[in-house]
Amino acid sequence: MSGTPSYKALPYAPFDGLLDFRGKTAVVTGGGDGIGLAIARRFAEAGARVVVGDLQAGRTGELAAEGLDVRHVPTDVTVQEQVDGLLDAAMAAHGRIDVFVNNAGIYPLRPVDDVDGAFWDRMFAVNCKAMFFGAQAASRRMKAQGQGGAIVNLSSICGHKPMPNHCAYDASKGAVLAMTRNLALALAPHGIRVNSVSPGLTATPGNLKPELFRQLQDSGVLDHIPLRRQAEPFEIASTVLFLASPMASYVTGTDLLVDGGWFLHGI
């Protein structure tokens, strides 16, 4: 029948090498610290040449000092020209882009009555608009290469369940989930897979501030997480690496909750 896709078996991929990113280039936004830094480290450990786009270099110098192939390009993800500059720098240095990780995000909280237009617009500018145009710019370069690629967006458990004082943040991360599915559909014909990761409570520098950690303990949040602990940033990074790897070669348009079972507690 005309237009019917033909079946073509892919060659079997032996396990050895499925997590080998040697010769690949991964671009990570917001990789100066926290989850982004852990993602940059994980890809570099897997052999990738990593380019981090962040306002500040943060701790990326520590990775380079360890002999990992990680470089920093100053980037404000809300400025499209700077995102293009980040990708151009990666292309100039390494000749290709295989993985793009949309990690940069902000996490300010306000009660509903205190949210104004500027607060809402800033949240969406960083957490949603920048992700779309970053994915758009990266996918254009991947399509030109003609060898597919992988895009991973960082959403949040807050995109799945409401949290007090999180209305704007929850909305921005819910938008990331919808955007991921649509991008996956649009880019699939080009062999570009698009997925998202939704971390739960994670031991980032911000969440480990004494006053915030005390609030978490006092609120009983940890009691609602079946594994009874926060995630370590490397656990989120490992999930991102999996989704970008050939181990997930038939996975696109999906979201992986990495929350220690927190979502199971309900809303």
What is the pLDDT tens value at each position of the chain, 267 positions in all?
456 667 888 889 899 899 999 999 999 999 999 999 999 999 999 999 999 999 999 999 999 999 999 999 999 999 999 999 999 999 999 999 999 999 999 999 999 999 999 999 999 999 999 999 999 999 999 999 999 999 999 999 999 999 889 999 999 999 999 999 999 999 999 999 999 999 999 988 776 666 666 666 666 778 889 998 899 999 999 999 999 999 999 999 999 999 999 999 875
pLDDT, tens digit (0-9, with 9 covering 90-100), for 183-201: 999 999 999 999 999 999 9
Q: Report whether CATH 3.40.50.720 matches the domain 25-261.
A: yes
Please give the positions annotated as active site: 169
**Domain boundary assignment for the chain:** 25-261
The pTM of this model reads: 0.93
Complete DSSP assignment for the chain: -TTPPPP-PPPP--STTTT--TT-EEEEET-SSHHHHHHHHHHHHTT-EEEEEESS-TTHHHHHHTT--EEEEE--TTSHHHHHHHHHHHHHHHS---EEEE---------GGG--HHHHHHHHIIIIIHHHHHHHHHHHHHHHHTS-EEEEEE--GGGTS--TT-HHHHHHHHHHHHHHHHHHHHHGGGTEEEEEEEE-SB--TTTTSHHHHHHHHHHTGGGGSTT-SPBPHHHHHHHHHHHHSGGGTT--S-EEEESTTGGGG--
pLDDT of 146: 97
pLDDT of 84: 98
